Structure 1
Amino acid sequence: MMRVKNFAHSTFATTNHQTMADAQALLQKADKKAASGGGGGFSRFFGGGTTNYEDAAELYIQAANAFKLQRMSKEAGQSFEKAAAMQLKTDEKDDAPNTLVEAYKVYRKTDPEDAARVMESAIQMYTAKGNFRRAATNKSDLAGLYELELSDIPKALEAYDVAGEWFSGDQAEALANKAWLKVGELAALQEDYARAIARFEDVARSSVSNNLTRYSVKEYFFKAGLCHIASGDLVATKRAFDTYLNLDPGFMSTREFELLQDIVTAIESADQELFTEKVFGYDQLSKLDKWKTTLLLKIKNGIEDEPDLT
């Protein structure tokens, strides 16, 4: 048994080494092809010029995939980038952004800044060709990278917002709303309540007349209402509540609207215990998620800061 195990390990190591050698060999061949490209006239007619660039692009892609098998993400991404550069020199320019997206995929976990860089380039190419649906999809994916891997919330916000605009322009309202809900949530956590409110209310308005999304309207109004309260302007908050009821009279009978009203009452009476009681009661039947809990904690802290007038 031991001899079989050692043999298997040895075979795996040999295969692993061979794959790496293959990747390096392909990369060298691609570099050689790239260096010999660019000719015109007779050289192009006899297989030089753009043909060499096309061959180089294919070799770079093969090298990139071989590096992927080795889990060598940096080398794979660099090879995909070189392939895209070659494609831009040929009649296959439309393939270049797709190849950069492949580079993005391998860079994402290990080299997120490189991932963002190549995806930005791909998106510019898609928009230049008027392919806004593809650009929007990738812009949304890029926003997730900024949010999760790079923790750059301002860039994430901007990317989600732009993705939403592009989806909306392409009549993909469901995808636009998904992006704008992310804008609302992230903006609120940054205490940019005006931006958050605007996006939540936009999504609510586009959903209220749609039978498939109408049930979710109370959630969007609830989130917008929490942002209004957190902003500290109770006059604007009450006006917003009136607007929500005009748009959807059924919102009045929801537990979400009842809690919003109870929170306003607790704030006006500087009653922290009432606030805690009402929020706890709501949470017992409808579990509050992390985002809502964060907003409610900010609101609660605002109540605690109120002077004691008794």
Structure 2
Amino acid sequence: MASDPDFEAEKAVASANRGGMSSWFSANTKEDKLEEAAQLYETAANGFKRAQQLRKAAQAFEKAGELYLSYGEKYKAKSAFIKAASSYADASTVVSSNPLPSISSLSAPLRSAPLGSEEAIAEQEADKRRKQHELLNPPKASEDVKRDNRDALRVAQRALSAAEDEQGNTQHQKAKVLEQIAGIHVVLENYEEAENTYGLAGVAYGTQALPIRTFIAGGEKFAKAGAYRSAARMYEAAVAKEKSDPNPSASTAGNAVRYLCKAAFYHFATGDFVTTRRALENYCNIDRKFGQTPEFRLYMDLMEALRANDEKGFRQIREQYQRTAPTDDQRDAILEAKENSLTTPNVDDDFS
């Protein structure tokens, strides 16, 4: 019979709290005892993870990190703290990711409208509107999620401290912890702090590819949270790093323009069209090829249509672009929302 990971984890915690399996009066040194207890806490943490008890897992990893730190094992302490931070950050996600179905949904009969019927078309439109609403209105973190991420931030900062003190530590290891901290700041809506921390991670990574990957990942995290201005700045940072390469390869030659197109979109999404226009003009100075892209023309033309309150013109520009552009649900949802604002004016769209 398979053992219950939750029960096994609790046993390991109890043993660790007693100071390990051996007696404190054995021949083992105090350091040996601390290491044994730390390993038991890690065993417990892994058991809690298998049982989906992530807060307990995080607490056990954190305790292991403290014990490793107590006798100078900085590398093991850092690793345990990183695992603790990840477990804290994921704790509420696991709880909420598989909600129980409602009674009404269980009792409702399964049905499907005939393909092409008015009912089917209405269902498709309703589903489309629901998805658009979700994209345009990212859910705010619940109090439980914020609590878990505050704990994650606290422990990740301990990991960073251990990484900085670690003998022979590389900047790469420090950068990974900084990137983790930045992501937590995004969840907590500390956007300015998140931007700064992503910047520090990029500096710590040092090499060309890793900072760019970090900035792009950060940009998408910001965008998912609806922090479009910060998302644009992350892509601008990726462009700056790309342009700083004195010997760009043929395979990365077009990357800067692609990043500028993403930054342009996120600026447009903010509804601040004065800043967006300035950004687009500046991007043309950064890379003249950007001014030749369909995206540059798209956003400039759409802003003119919005300024003129030209709903028909806006729709024609949008549909013409979408006929040839790759599908992008987020972009399409935002463009349609801007179009709808011509019927229902959106006070957030700022030309002044």
Asked if 1:75 corresponds to 2:56, the answer is: yes
Query: Using a 3 Å threshold, how does the CA distance of structure 1 residues 202 and 172 change in structure 2: closer, same or farther?
Result: same
Query: Using a 3 Å threshold, how does the CA distance of structure 1 residues 166 and 33 change in structure 2: closer, same or farther?
Result: same
Question: What is the SS of the residue equivalent to 1:221?
Answer: helix
Question: What is the SS of the residue equivalent to 2:335?
Answer: helix
Residue in 2 aligned with 1:231? 272
Residue in 2 aligned with 1:33? 19
| Counterparts of residues 159-308 of structure 1 (less than 5 Å) | 159=194, 161-184=196-219, 186=222, 190=226, 193=229, 195-208=230-243, 210=248, 211-229=250-268, 230-233=271-274, 237-297=276-336, 299-300=338-339, 303=342, 305=345
Query: Using a 3 Å threshold, how does the CA distance of structure 1 residues 182 and 60 change in structure 2: closer, same or farther?
Result: closer
Aligned equivalents of 1:68 and 1:226: distance in 2? Answer: 39
1:267, CA displacement in angstroms? Answer: 3.2
Residue in 1 aligned with 2:162? 125
Deviations 1:85-105 (A, max 9, x none): 211221323311111223334
For the Cα contact (< 8 Å) 1:207–1:214, is it kept in 2? no
Query: Using a 3 Å threshold, how does the CA distance of structure 1 residues 33 and 98 change in structure 2: closer, same or farther?
Result: same
Residue in 2 aligned with 1:16? 3
Asked if 1:137 corresponds to 2:176, the answer is: yes
Deviations 1:129-181 (A, max 9, x none): 4654223223334544565xxx43x2366335413332234313333233333
Aligned equivalents of 1:20 and 1:189: distance in 2? Answer: 34
Aligned equivalents of 1:20 and 1:302: distance in 2? Answer: 52
1:259, CA displacement in angstroms? Answer: 1.3
Query: Using a 3 Å threshold, how does the CA distance of structure 1 residues 279 and 29 change in structure 2: closer, same or farther?
Result: same
Unaligned runs of 5+ in 1: 1-11
Aligned equivalents of 2:288 and 2:259: distance in 1? Answer: 14
Query: Using a 3 Å threshold, how does the CA distance of structure 1 residues 119 and 292 change in structure 2: closer, same or farther?
Result: same
* Larger Rg belongs to: 1
Indicate the structure with greater helix content: 1
Aligned equivalents of 2:61 and 2:266: distance in 1? Answer: 44
1:47 to 1, 9, 28: 28
1:58, CA displacement in angstroms? Answer: 2.4
Report the AA paired with residue 164 of structure 2.
T
Aligned equivalents of 1:124 and 1:275: distance in 2? Answer: 52
RMSD: 3.7
Query: Using a 3 Å threshold, how does the CA distance of structure 1 residues 166 and 212 change in structure 2: closer, same or farther?
Result: same
For the Cα contact (< 8 Å) 2:9–2:47, is it kept in 1? yes
Question: What is the SS of the residue equivalent to 1:88?
Answer: helix
2:42 to 58, 61, 65: 61
Deviations 1:98-133 (A, max 9, x none): 112233344443356144443332123223446542
Query: Using a 3 Å threshold, how does the CA distance of structure 1 residues 168 and 296 change in structure 2: closer, same or farther?
Result: farther
Greater RCO (CA < 8 Å, at least 6 residues apart): 2
Aligned equivalents of 1:78 and 1:170: distance in 2? Answer: 29
For the Cα contact (< 8 Å) 1:160–1:180, is it kept in 2? no
For the Cα contact (< 8 Å) 1:188–1:227, is it kept in 2? no
The alignment-based identity, stated in percent, is 24
Unaligned runs of 5+ in 2: 93-144, 347-352
Query: Using a 3 Å threshold, how does the CA distance of structure 1 residues 80 and 223 change in structure 2: closer, same or farther?
Result: closer
Structure 2-normalised TM-score?
0.64
Residue in 1 aligned with 2:129? none
Report the AA paired with residue 324 of structure 2.
L
Aligned equivalents of 1:255 and 1:98: distance in 2? Answer: 46
* Worse-superposed segment, 98-107 or 19-28: 19-28
Deviations 1:210-241 (A, max 9, x none): 343332333332333345553131xx655544
Aligned residue pairs total 280
1:247, CA displacement in angstroms? Answer: 3.1
Aligned equivalents of 1:181 and 1:303: distance in 2? Answer: 32
Residue in 2 aligned with 1:89? 70
Residue in 1 aligned with 2:349? none
